Chain A
């Protein structure tokens, strides 16, 4: 069986991240506070062209839109 998430344009990496997020949120309050901090990702990037910095984008958002475009 092909994976359902694959046909929706999600990568295996994204699949793992979503599954891990669900696991973290299911924890009891004590361990959850520690665990949720690990799920945060904040990475920005910009493309440089002709010596000039392009628009600064968040990596997570850019990946989400790229995935959407791919599945269409």
Chain B
């Protein structure tokens, strides 16, 4: 008898539960969900489908942060800093030389780049001397290709220098 009463109260409780859509995703849930990150270079994979909380990427269309359940998209990356926020709030920073980021529908993020290193592997002195050299070529009277290449280098190096400070 008591079990019947319990079932009846459960029945009564249900309609109110239905009023809240089950599909809705609250902020706290979104943060708990993880995004599977693969950060790969031709010679090494830094992350291999690792669960992380958030990834900030320097897309050509602007800086963007990717959380779990992000809209699927393909973004071209500028040379710049990729920040990986892991569980517990610790973040790792990598400087990539440019490539592509692909967000897949099932919370997977693949980032491909030619070169990428942790920020602490860079030397500020090497960057400074390269900037001086590239500026000389960019403002000199070399061929159009040489000037364009020097300008690409300048873009990379100046971004890198800004992050090293």
Contacts and interface: CB of A to CB of B under 8 A. Distances in A.
Interface in B144-165: 144-145, 147-149, 151-153, 155-157, 160
A19 B97 contact: yes
A38 to B, nearest CB: 6
Interface residues of B, number: 32
B135 interface: no
Contacts of B116: 23
A66 B123 CA distance: 35
A23 B153 CA distance: 9
Given A26-B160, A28-B121, A16 B126 contact: no
Interface in A12-52: 14-29, 31-32, 35, 38
B117 A23 contact: yes
16 contacts: A4-B151, A5-B148, A8-B144, A9-B145, A10-B152, A20-B98, A22-B134, A22-B152, A22-B156, A25-B130, A26-B122, A26-B126, A31-B117, A35-B117, A38-B43, A68-B145
Contacts of A31: 117, 121
A35 B151 CA distance: 22
Contacts of A29: 123
Contact of B157 (A9, A10, A22, A38): A22
In the complex, the 9 A-B pairs of residues with the closest C-beta atoms, listed nearest first: A8-B148, A20-B114, A23-B97, A20-B97, A20-B115, A22-B156, A22-B153, A19-B97, A28-B123
